[in-house]
Amino acid sequence: APNDTDGIVGTEVGETLNGSQQSDFINGLGGSDRIFGGNEDDVIYGGAGNDTITGNNDDDLLFGESGADSIFGGAGDDVIYGGADSDTIAGNNGSDILYGGAGNDNLNGGNGADILFAGLGLDTLIGGAGNDTINLSVDGAKDTISYNSGNGSDTVNQFLTGTGGDILSFSGIAAIDIVQSGSNTWFRVGDGIAGNNGFGKGALLITLANTSFTSADISTNIDLTNIPVFQFS
């Protein structure tokens, strides 16, 4: 029955734990475990060790806890906590909420309108497809937001400009217009032509909320590897 909940508890050594067709509660305990949620809404704790956790179907609540974990939400609207250490977290499908926690984490929202929280450490965040919200930390560590062509329109909060600040990295986009709009900064698809009527009218890629971005910040806060042309308002 859908309301049944199965309890699965691991040991202090690494093992593979598989959920059922019901809503599961799984605790890996110690060791580097491989945990699969199965169908329905699961709650999974990795425990100690470098665990690999996959929520699979429905709306899952996943906790990496200690260790450098790899956590994948699967289908559904998942909530994922990385915990301590340097984790890799992917929401996959659905509108997910991802928390990096401590450590140098890699967060990828995947499909859907996701919400990402960087946490402590040097984090790399990818919103993925859909219009996502990316929340950076105020710990002074340099976070990187990686935007690929087709990722949707993302909003970034608490972006720190200047030397030692956060980094924007773009891929698959030939030119970008940078537009100051009130207290926000917009990054829009551009045509690379200075002074024409199309400036600032392309698709909106990223909004830096409550952040002023100057021309001097281009060299310090943008990874220029893949972008040949910037136009600035």
Closest CA to 64 of 26, 117, 112: 26
The per-residue pLDDT for range 142-178, each reduced to its tens digit, is: 999 999 999 999 999 999 999 999 999 999 999 999 9
CA distance 91 to 136: 17
Cβ–Cβ under 8 Å, residues 27 and 13: no
pLDDT in tens, 66-110: 999 999 999 999 999 999 999 999 999 999 999 999 999 999 999
Looking at the domain assignment, is residue 31 inside a domain?
Answer: yes
Structural domain total, the chain: 1
Q: Is residue 68 part of a domain?
A: yes
Question: Residue 225 falls within a domain, yes or no?
Answer: no
Q: How far is CA 134 from the centre of its chain?
A: 7
In a domain, 184, yes or no: no
Residue 102 domain-assigned (yes or no): yes
Q: What angle do CA 44, 50, 53 make, to 5 degrees?
A: 30
* Residue 115 CB-half CA count within 13 A: 5
For residue 57, with 0-12 CB atoms within 10 Å meaning exposed, 13-18 middle and 19 or more buried, which class applies?
Answer: middle
Domain holding 160, by residue range, is 5-175
